[in-house]
Structure 1
Protein backbone atom coordinates (compact mmCIF):
# COMPACT_ATOMS: atom_id res chain seq x y z
CA UNK A 1 0.00 0.00 0.00
CA UNK A 2 1.31 3.43 -0.91
CA UNK A 3 0.49 6.83 0.51
CA UNK A 4 -2.09 8.64 -1.56
CA UNK A 5 -1.17 11.75 -3.45
CA UNK A 6 -3.19 13.88 -5.82
CA UNK A 7 -1.52 15.56 -8.78
CA UNK A 8 -4.58 17.68 -9.44
CA UNK A 9 -4.87 19.08 -5.93
CA UNK A 10 -6.28 22.58 -6.14
CA UNK A 11 -5.34 23.80 -2.67
CA UNK A 12 -2.56 23.45 -0.19
CA UNK A 13 -3.12 23.75 3.52
CA UNK A 14 -0.89 26.84 3.50
CA UNK A 15 -1.92 30.09 1.79
CA UNK A 16 0.18 29.68 -1.35
CA UNK A 17 -1.02 29.72 -4.94
CA UNK A 18 1.23 28.67 -7.77
CA UNK A 19 -0.02 28.28 -11.32
CA UNK A 20 2.16 25.98 -13.40
CA UNK A 21 1.91 26.73 -17.13
CA UNK A 22 0.94 23.84 -19.39
CA UNK A 23 4.28 24.04 -21.24
CA UNK A 24 6.39 23.68 -18.05
CA UNK A 25 8.83 20.76 -17.83
CA UNK A 26 7.09 19.50 -14.66
CA UNK A 27 3.89 18.93 -16.65
CA UNK A 28 5.80 17.00 -19.33
CA UNK A 29 7.47 14.83 -16.67
CA UNK A 30 4.14 14.15 -15.01
CA UNK A 31 2.54 13.07 -18.30
CA UNK A 32 5.56 10.89 -19.11
CA UNK A 33 5.57 9.08 -15.76
CA UNK A 34 1.77 8.68 -15.85
CA UNK A 35 2.10 7.01 -19.28
CA UNK A 36 4.36 4.25 -17.88
CA UNK A 37 2.33 1.07 -17.26
CA UNK A 38 1.60 0.53 -13.56
CA UNK A 39 3.03 -2.97 -13.71
CA UNK A 40 6.50 -1.49 -14.39
CA UNK A 41 6.39 1.03 -11.55
CA UNK A 42 4.50 -0.71 -8.77
CA UNK A 43 5.49 -3.93 -7.12
CA UNK A 44 3.66 -5.84 -4.44
CA UNK A 45 3.23 -3.48 -1.53
CA UNK A 46 3.90 -4.45 2.05
CA UNK A 47 0.85 -4.90 4.23
CA UNK A 48 2.52 -4.08 7.52
CA UNK A 49 4.25 -0.98 8.77
CA UNK A 50 4.02 2.55 7.52
CA UNK A 51 2.79 2.97 3.92
CA UNK A 52 5.61 3.62 1.47
CA UNK A 53 5.82 6.73 -0.67
CA UNK A 54 4.27 6.36 -4.08
CA UNK A 55 7.02 5.25 -6.53
CA UNK A 56 5.51 7.28 -9.40
CA UNK A 57 5.63 10.45 -7.30
CA UNK A 58 9.24 9.76 -6.30
CA UNK A 59 10.21 9.17 -9.93
CA UNK A 60 8.65 12.51 -10.89
CA UNK A 61 10.66 14.28 -8.18
CA UNK A 62 13.92 12.62 -9.26
CA UNK A 63 13.40 13.42 -12.96
CA UNK A 64 12.51 17.03 -12.16
CA UNK A 65 15.63 17.35 -10.00
CA UNK A 66 17.74 16.07 -12.90
CA UNK A 67 16.25 18.68 -15.21
CA UNK A 68 17.24 21.35 -12.70
CA UNK A 69 20.75 19.87 -12.43
CA UNK A 70 20.43 19.36 -8.70
CA UNK A 71 23.28 17.10 -7.69
CA UNK A 72 23.62 15.75 -4.16
CA UNK A 73 27.27 15.31 -3.22
Structure 2
Protein backbone atom coordinates (compact mmCIF):
# COMPACT_ATOMS: atom_id res chain seq x y z
CA UNK A 1 0.00 0.00 0.00
CA UNK A 2 1.41 3.40 -1.00
CA UNK A 3 0.45 6.55 0.94
CA UNK A 4 1.57 10.01 -0.24
CA UNK A 5 1.74 13.27 1.77
CA UNK A 6 2.72 16.64 0.26
CA UNK A 7 3.13 19.99 2.05
CA UNK A 8 3.89 23.35 0.43
CA UNK A 9 4.52 26.42 2.56
CA UNK A 10 2.59 29.37 1.10
CA UNK A 11 3.81 31.95 3.59
CA UNK A 12 5.06 32.28 7.12
CA UNK A 13 2.15 30.42 8.74
CA UNK A 14 0.15 29.00 5.79
CA UNK A 15 0.63 25.47 4.42
CA UNK A 16 -1.11 23.88 1.43
CA UNK A 17 -1.35 20.10 1.84
CA UNK A 18 -2.43 17.07 -0.20
CA UNK A 19 -2.71 13.49 1.01
CA UNK A 20 -3.58 10.24 -0.79
CA UNK A 21 -3.96 6.91 1.02
CA UNK A 22 -3.72 3.65 -0.97
CA UNK A 23 -2.60 5.49 -4.12
CA UNK A 24 -2.85 2.45 -6.43
CA UNK A 25 -6.15 1.25 -4.88
CA UNK A 26 -4.59 -2.06 -3.80
CA UNK A 27 -7.02 -4.68 -2.50
CA UNK A 28 -5.88 -6.09 0.83
CA UNK A 29 -7.28 -7.54 4.06
CA UNK A 30 -6.66 -6.25 7.57
CA UNK A 31 -8.00 -9.23 9.52
CA UNK A 32 -8.84 -12.85 8.82
CA UNK A 33 -10.60 -15.64 10.69
CA UNK A 34 -11.92 -19.15 10.08
CA UNK A 35 -15.43 -19.90 11.29
CA UNK A 36 -18.54 -21.85 10.37
CA UNK A 37 -20.86 -20.08 7.95
CA UNK A 38 -24.45 -19.87 9.23
CA UNK A 39 -25.85 -18.67 5.87
CA UNK A 40 -26.50 -20.36 2.52
CA UNK A 41 -23.98 -18.82 0.06
CA UNK A 42 -26.45 -19.08 -2.85
CA UNK A 43 -29.45 -17.40 -1.22
CA UNK A 44 -28.05 -15.59 1.81
CA UNK A 45 -30.73 -17.19 3.98
CA UNK A 46 -29.91 -18.67 7.41
CA UNK A 47 -29.18 -22.40 7.49
CA UNK A 48 -30.91 -24.80 9.88
CA UNK A 49 -27.50 -26.24 10.80
CA UNK A 50 -24.08 -24.62 10.69
CA UNK A 51 -22.33 -24.95 7.36
CA UNK A 52 -18.68 -25.66 6.55
CA UNK A 53 -15.72 -23.80 7.99
CA UNK A 54 -14.90 -20.83 5.73
CA UNK A 55 -12.45 -17.96 5.62
CA UNK A 56 -13.76 -14.52 6.62
CA UNK A 57 -11.73 -11.35 5.99
CA UNK A 58 -12.10 -7.62 6.71
CA UNK A 59 -11.25 -5.53 3.64
CA UNK A 60 -8.66 -2.77 3.84
CA UNK A 61 -9.47 0.86 3.17
CA UNK A 62 -9.90 1.93 -0.48
CA UNK A 63 -8.16 4.91 -2.11
CA UNK A 64 -8.91 8.22 -0.38
CA UNK A 65 -7.59 11.74 -0.81
CA UNK A 66 -7.60 15.12 0.90
CA UNK A 67 -6.51 18.62 -0.13
CA UNK A 68 -6.56 21.64 2.15
CA UNK A 69 -4.93 24.67 3.67
CA UNK A 70 -3.56 24.82 7.22
CA UNK A 71 -2.75 27.85 9.35
CA UNK A 72 -0.02 27.16 11.88
CA UNK A 73 -0.13 29.45 14.89
CA UNK A 74 3.21 30.78 16.13
CA UNK A 75 4.61 30.50 19.63
CA UNK A 76 2.85 33.02 21.95
CA UNK A 77 4.94 35.99 23.15
CA UNK A 78 6.88 35.37 26.33
CA UNK A 79 7.59 31.69 25.69
Give the TM-score range, shorter chain: under 0.3
* Richer in strand (by share): 2
TM norm structure 1 = 0.19
* Richer in helix (by share): 1
TM norm structure 2 = 0.18
Q: Which has the higher contact order (CA 8 A, sep 6+)?
A: 1
